[in-house]
Amino acid sequence: MSDDMRDYYKFYGVYTNDWLTTWGGDTFNHHLVKDWISEYCSTVTYTAWSAAGAKFIYPHNIKKKYYLEGVVEGEITFGNYVKSYVSDYRVNIIKINTDTTETVLATTGVINVNDMITKDDAIVYHFWIDCFNAKEISEYDRIGVFIEWDIIGHSSVTARLLNGNRETGYAYDDVWVDIPFIL
């Protein structure tokens, strides 16, 4: 791998309501995109809490074989139209195989935050994940980001994951992640 070149791919998480990707036995509305999308593009501005979390997929091959290695960095943003809470979150970098298996390549683990979000406000969490043992991704895999929040038994979850990602008019970028690859 020493002759290979390291590259960082910055992805933004968007929730498309007019485009689906089917891969590995699942259908996805949550996508990873490499550039800002048009602010007029039809997207959903948030994902309501669900025990299933939110799984974003990059629907294309990056290369036939490449590796995740280095420091993953990113941000996730939560908000609501009424007062809400975020007690914890976890971000996993995953690969999704055509045979329906999913493998966690790197994780933040569960991060306890116990924060309140006031009405019409948002809170942004920045994260880093060290991944120094190279993880292989093949042509039969797609890279993904799996976000969960309020994981540990919360009955009154109201915070929403923001994922509209408009380039202008916002003070934050909703969901983004910078992933290091050896190509």
User: Distance between alpha carbon 168 and the CA centroid of its chain, in Å?
Assistant: 20
pTM over 0.85: yes
Per-residue pLDDT, 42:
81
At 107-135, the pLDDT tens digits run 999 999 989 999 888 999 999 999 999 99
Contact assessment for residue 87 and residue 152, using Cβ atoms and an 8 Å cutoff = yes
Distance (Å, rounded) from C-alpha 177 to C-alpha 91? Answer: 10
Neighbours of 38 (CB within 10 A): 9
At 150-170, the pLDDT tens digits run 998 665 677 999 988 766 556
At 48-98, the pLDDT tens digits run 998 899 999 999 999 999 999 999 999 999 998 888 889 999 999 999 999
Q: Tokens for 165?
A: 């990602």
| Number of H-type helices and E-type strands within the chain | 0, 15
Distance (Å, rounded) from C-alpha 64 to C-alpha 183? Answer: 9
Per-residue pLDDT, 4:
61
Contact assessment for residue 77 and residue 172, using Cβ atoms and an 8 Å cutoff = yes
Q: Tokens for 123?
A: 């809170």
Q: Which of 174, 175, 95, 180 is nearest to 130 (CA)?
A: 180
CATH level 2 (architecture), domain 6-182: Sandwich (2.60)
Print burial letters for 44-78: b (CB count within 10 Å at least 16), e (below 16).
eebbebeeebbbbbbbeebeeebbbbbebbbbbbb
- Bridge partners of residue 30, in order along the sequence: 15
Q: Which of 171, 144, 181 is nearest to 79 (CA)?
A: 171
Per-residue pLDDT, 150:
92
Dihedral (CA of 120, 123, 124, 130) sign: negative
